[in-house]
Amino acid sequence: MTSRAGQLSSLLTTTPLHGFRNLIINGNFDIWQRGDTFIDPGAWSYTADRWRVAYDGSPVGLAVSRHDFALGQTDVPGEPRHFLRWQMAGNSGATFMVLAQPVEGVRTLAGQVVTVTFYARAAAPMIINFGLTQFFGTGGSPSADVLTLLGSAELTTEWTRVSAADVLPSMTGKSLGTNGNDALVLNIFSTPNEAFTIDIAHVSLVPGDATAELDPFASRHIGQEIALCQRYYQRADWPHFTARSLSTTFGTDVPVPFPVIMRATPTVTLWSPITLAAGKARDYEGSADVDAVVASTNPAGFYAAVAPAAAVGNRLGFIYEASAEL
């Protein structure tokens, strides 16, 4: 008969509970709410959910895109569906080129042993570095960033397991910013001024020294992963309809609850579903866009104020995105 301790151990290693060991969200690159291809993304902009590119200089041919694994491949464990491709044709005057994910809260794993593990390959042999930055936020007088370099990896054209462990510095004597955006940031550094193509998959950040584990990555249910992503960013690409217009004089307030309570009050943008014009809703029977603004917002939802339709009874609709990213 299995003991209670044994049952608990089994739950934590063989069920979705085990997935919460991994502090990286979307480490299998399954969620791409903003799109699956990003050409010349802006510095510090998000691509795949929770993953952003940061750089300086003047990159040429910079792109981030989603790609598929072949069914049954064995180079990367866990049968992941997707990997992220990060590439650049060249750059000038740059000092850094980074793929990063901020993990909410700089207190995360402070003073503890941590392990980062991922799989990577490159179009040509090259060396990358990776580490964790303790970012104390903005506003007020926060402490300066603290970078812990975990290691480097020599990539080849074959998938390579990259893993390293280290102790993160403690928070003793540090000060947080006042804007509530402090974070522990995973950074993967590429060559800032040279051309590269790097594929990355199956990324994990776990407490303790897991370098000897074959696969410290632990999958979550896809519904859990989407909800975790939506805490920071969510996009509704289907129309949110109001009730039919009751007046051609007065506008309509439309309440929109978020499917997940967000990290903070988000920035919300509205578009017409037909023309994709920003700050607009669609009067479907009138075949025209009308003005739409966000009247009020909180982490649980927002109100949209939509201008009157051309005729009583016309339908009004809009799509939105909401961002509370770190």
Residue 16 pLDDT grade (very low, low, confident, very high; cuts 50, 70, 90): very low
pLDDT digits (tens, 9 = 90+) for 98-139: 999 999 999 999 999 999 999 999 999 999 999 999 999 999
Residue 243 pLDDT grade (very low, low, confident, very high; cuts 50, 70, 90): confident
pLDDT digits (tens, 9 = 90+) for 244-298: 898 999 999 999 999 999 999 999 999 999 999 999 999 999 999 999 999 999 9
Residue 94 pLDDT grade (very low, low, confident, very high; cuts 50, 70, 90): very high
CA dist 174 and 133 (Å) reads 14
Return the pLDDT at 8. Answer: 45
Q: Is the pLDDT of residue 3 over 60?
A: no
CB-side neighbour CA atoms (13 Å) of 260: 20
Q: What is the mean pLDDT of residues 68-96?
A: 97
- Region of 93 please: left (phi>0), alpha (psi -120 to 50) or beta: left
Q: Is the pLDDT of residue 7 over 50?
A: no
Q: Is the pLDDT of residue 14 over 80?
A: no
Return the pLDDT at 2. Answer: 47
Q: What is the mean pLDDT of residues 58-70?
A: 98
Of residues 147 and 1, more confidence is placed in 147
Q: Mind listing the domains of the chain with CATH numbers?
A: 4-221 (2.60.120.260), 233-323 (2.60.40)
Q: Which one-letter amino acid corresponds to residue 177?
A: G
Q: What is the DSSP letter of 20?
A: G
Radius of gyration of the chain (CA): 23
